[in-house]
Amino acid sequence: MILKFINTGLRPGKFNMEFDEALARDLQNGIGFPTLRVYGWYPPAISIGFHQNIEDFDHEKIIKSGFDIVRRPTGGKAILHAHELTYCVVTKIIDQGPRTIYQSINECLLRGLTNLGINASLSLYSDNFRQLYKLNTSIPCFSSSAKNEIQFEGKKLIGSAQRRYGDVILQHGSLLLGSEHRRIIEFLAPHISDSGEIINNTLLSCTTEVETILKRNVSFNEIAAAIKKGFEDSGNIIFEDSDTTVANSSLSPLEECL
């Protein structure tokens, strides 16, 4: 399979989510291309799932802290994007269904982590999301795992989500580099702030990060190169126009890549 590779670096939340969706819609409309994109977030931002209640978070406090809040095109629960690498894959559904594509992408990510010396694995079972969300609608994405998500020693390392656009799949996810994602409890709205301690304890017990595992600092560029090579090492991915870095945010997402 031939994919485009795009590294857009650190960008605002609105740009990141619009870019991912534009990649998917353009591929759906026949004017785009299958793509692996890697990126980060500046300023840090809370992204909420497509169906999540944005009022679960204190907007004023988020803005005063210099952070941002944005809605994802995919489902799931909230994530605080700070010190991480986010990936996005858009591809056509041809001879694989969404679940198989999900597993295949995560296997490529596993190969990338192996390049860093991280012996991660795919989770074998899925948590009971319906029960978890019933207990607490503000529960963050990284406090639970789905089948075939990436873990290290039983703790979640990469959280991913999918959305289907006709015959196109958009899958994106966060690879945690540091522990800043746990600060999400600081921005809960007053009506659910009592859940903060429970959420914090859950994140501490259920998540881990690249720098915690490797016991050293890991740069965005180092992890981006490792993930790209992981896809190449999968044996069926060839990158076209690789190592593209988008630098001019004044253009629309796809104009910057063409």
Residue found under tokens 């802290």: 65
Greatest alpha-carbon span in the chain: 50
| Angstrom distance (rounded) from CA 180 to CA 135 | 25
SS3 label, residue 170: strand
Per the DSSP assignment, residues forming a β-bridge with 22 are: none
Contact (CB, 8 A) for 169 and 91: yes
Contact (CB, 8 A) for 45 and 70: yes
Distance of CA 194 to the CA centre of its chain: 27
**Positive or negative: CA dihedral 107, 113, 115, 117:** negative
Residue in 88, 108, 141, 257 annotated catalytic: 141
Phi, psi of 78 (to 5 degrees): -75, 150
Q: Are strands 84-92 and 45-48 parallel, antiparallel or unpaired?
A: unpaired
Active site residue 141: yes
Per the DSSP assignment, residues forming a β-bridge with 38 are: 7, 87
Q: Could you report how far apart the first and last alpha carbons of the chain are, in Å?
A: 20
Q: Hey, which residues are catalytic here?
A: 141
